[in-house]
Amino acid sequence: MNKDFLTDSQGIPVSDDQHSLSLGPSGPIVMADPVFLEKLAHFDRERVPERVLHAKGAGAFGFFRPYQSMAQFTKADFLQSPETITPVFVRFSLAGGSQGGADTVRDIRGFAVRFYTDEGNYDLVGNHVPVFPFRDPLQFPDFVHAIKPDPVSNIRGGPIGTSRFWDFMSLRPESMNFLSYLFSDIGTVQSYRTIQGFGINTFKWVNLRGDEVSIKYHWEPCAGVQCIDSRTATQLAGSDPDIAGRDLFETIAAGQPVEYELCVQIMNVSDAANQPFDPLDPTKIWPEDMIPLLPVGMMTLNKNPGDFFVEVEQAAFSPASLVPGITLSNDRILQGRVFPYGDTQRYRIGPNYANLPINRPRHPVHHKMQAGPMQTRCNDGIANYLPNTLGGGMPLPAPERGCPAPQFASGEIARTEPEGDDYYQPGCRYRNMTELEKQHFVSNIVENLSQAYEPIQNRMLEHFLRTDPDLGRRIAQGIQTVP
């Protein structure tokens, strides 16, 4: 049969899927119509649940090539030679909004990269700002609830929505560094080609000898970092709400590759205690004048998705996807992210989401997990368990490449609040801004904070004054002038 002829999902020829079976031209339709039943039933199920965070996104395919071997620091296979070219898929997204939101609103942009390495998938899941607003993953649900529409009116903005956001932030002073980025012009962008990306958390690289170093990831756009002011962002939200996704798609479709340089900051694990900040605190940056960036390689995006739903909406990233040579640090947020990302996708897409082509590793998969909705992998024989003799003991445990890194931990198990100076880094960031950047930063905060309830405004002003007296005074004066 000609492959261009219409069929149903079973491959059975369909001669007409535009007219329902009916009892004469004016009579009722009949339910004994397999074409109608299948087409409408499938249509009813075309959507999967929207992501709680990072719902709206855009994606592209490409490749990554290291500049030189990183074997001194890591045994990760894809970082051993400049001759190694690793396929990648990248999903950019907006963190707080829904699928129908505008690309230019003030928000955090997700920057998630999947490396399809010869040792399995490595997911580097980050954002376009380098810090988190809190230090403990137990606060994730509260933070998300605070930035989403309120549960009574289902409205995100206005006095109630704005007060909810600032209420949470005012009670978490470690969020000040995060706010210094979100309310700068970096918080409003119109192109994914001109944003930075950050792994945010502290990871560890391990080499063949078992030596460990702590690292931070940075993506630098080769087109340069660009942002827009609040007024332009508002205008574009109305006139071209999909501008960032459209710009990425059209640029690649025109044959122009989009490039980002991967850099890392490297710190000896033993040096962590000697720093003036906690290197495992995701609300802090590692100052580049103290710990400079080391260029690692270049990522080139040169292919658009062929089907948005199949290759972007169903893409499922997780910080738990780690290849040999890259491990977790004791960063609380990082360790807390290991579980919920994959668990979310099992709920949203299904327990076998990793079988989908966009999520499937290039490396062969061998394990004894079985069944579940949409399973496509067949069991290899009757021994669907380990250990076994009926299946020849297969699959065998994977051999360790090189020496494993030693792991030590001790201490009292308790619920504790990490200590740290929450005002020094955002204060330095403000003082290093140009005068125009300061004006925009203050204006952006005043525009938003002025809508919150007065007790919450006052609580936030105390934090801004402690961050920098000049910043606090400017914000207080700005709020007083708002009609």
DSSP codes, 274-292: GSSS-TT-TTS---TTTS-
- Dist. CA 1–CA 14, nearest whole Å: 12
Annotated active-site positions, please? 54, 127
SS3 161: helix
Q: Assign domain 56-134+172-355 to its CATH superfamily.
A: Catalase core domain (2.40.180.10)
Over the range 6-25, which residues count as b (16 or more CB within 10 Å of their CB) and which as e?
eeeeeeeeeeeeeeeeeeee
- Dist. CA 162–CA 178, nearest whole Å: 17
Q: Determine how many CB atoms are found less than 10 A away from the CB of residue 405.
A: 16
Burial class (CB in 10 A: 0-12, 13-18, 19+), 328: middle
Q: Is residue 92 within 8 Å of residue 192, measured between CB atoms?
A: yes
- Dist. CA 113–CA 78, nearest whole Å: 14
Question: What is the tens place of the pLDDT at every residue in 81-137?
Answer: 999 999 999 999 999 989 989 999 999 999 999 999 999 999 999 999 999 999 999
Q: For 413, what's the count of Cα atoms within 13 Å in the CB-facing half-sphere?
A: 0
Sole residue written with tokens 């490449």: 401
Q: Say what the pLDDT of residue 459 is.
A: 97
Q: How confident is the model at residue 482 (pLDDT cuts 50, 70, 90)?
A: confident
SS3 158: helix
Q: Say what the pLDDT of residue 380 is.
A: 81
Q: Can you read off the two tokens belonging to residue 404?
A: 């494993």
pTM, 2 dp: 0.93
SS3 121: strand
Annotated binding site: 341
Sole residue written with tokens 């690692």: 296
Whether the predicted pLDDT of 420 surpasses 90: no
Whether the predicted pLDDT of 466 surpasses 80: yes
Annotated binding site for heme: 341
Q: Say what the pLDDT of residue 378 is.
A: 79
- Dist. CA 330–CA 406, nearest whole Å: 14
- Sequence ranges of the domains in the chain: 1-46, 56-134+172-355, 424-481
Residue 22's DSSP bridge partners are: 29
Question: What is the tens place of the pLDDT at every residue in 330-340?
Answer: 999 999 999 99
Question: 3-state DSSP: the chain helix, strand, coil percent, rounded to 5?
Answer: 30, 15, 50
Q: Say what the pLDDT of residue 461 is.
A: 97
Q: Is CATH 2.40.40.20 the classification given to domain 1-46?
A: no
If residue 125 lies in a helix (H) or strand (E), which one and from where to where? strand 120-127
Q: Say what the pLDDT of residue 81 is.
A: 98
Question: What is the tens place of the pLDDT at every residue in 198-240?
Answer: 999 999 999 999 999 999 999 999 999 999 999 999 999 999 9
Whether the predicted pLDDT of 1 surpasses 60: no
- Dist. CA 391–CA 388, nearest whole Å: 6
Q: Can you read off the two tokens belonging to residue 107?
A: 């928000």
Q: Can you read off the two tokens belonging to residue 87?
A: 């396929």
For the chain, the distance separating the N- and C-terminal CA atoms, rounded to the nearest angstrom, is: 72
Question: What is the tens place of the pLDDT at every residue in 355-398?
Answer: 999 999 988 888 877 877 878 787 888 888 888 888 888 888 88
User: CA Rg, the chain, in Å?
Assistant: 25
| CATH architecture designation of domain 424-481 | Up-down Bundle (1.20)
Question: What is the tens place of the pLDDT at every residue in 130-177?
Answer: 999 999 999 999 999 999 999 999 998 899 999 999 999 999 999 999
Range list of H helices, 171-214: 176-182
Q: Say what the pLDDT of residue 371 is.
A: 79
Whether the predicted pLDDT of 70 surpasses 80: yes
Whether the predicted pLDDT of 424 surpasses 70: yes
Q: For 211, what's the count of Cα atoms within 13 Å in the CB-facing half-sphere?
A: 12
Q: Say what the pLDDT of residue 312 is.
A: 96
Question: What is the tens place of the pLDDT at every residue in 403-413?
Answer: 888 887 788 88
Q: Say what the pLDDT of residue 463 is.
A: 97
Question: What is the tens place of the pLDDT at every residue in 6-61?
Answer: 888 888 888 888 889 998 888 898 888 888 888 888 888 888 999 999 999 999 99
Q: For 191, what's the count of Cα atoms within 13 Å in the CB-facing half-sphere?
A: 17
Q: Is residue 78 within 8 Å of residue 122, measured between CB atoms?
A: yes
Q: Say what the pLDDT of residue 406 is.
A: 80
% the chain with pLDDT above 90: 75
- Dist. CA 238–CA 220, nearest whole Å: 29
Over the range 280-305, which residues count as b (16 or more CB within 10 Å of their CB) and which as e?
bbbbbbbeeeebebeebbbbbbeebb
Q: Say what the pLDDT of residue 361 is.
A: 92
Whether the predicted pLDDT of 78 surpasses 80: yes
Q: Say what the pLDDT of residue 2 is.
A: 67
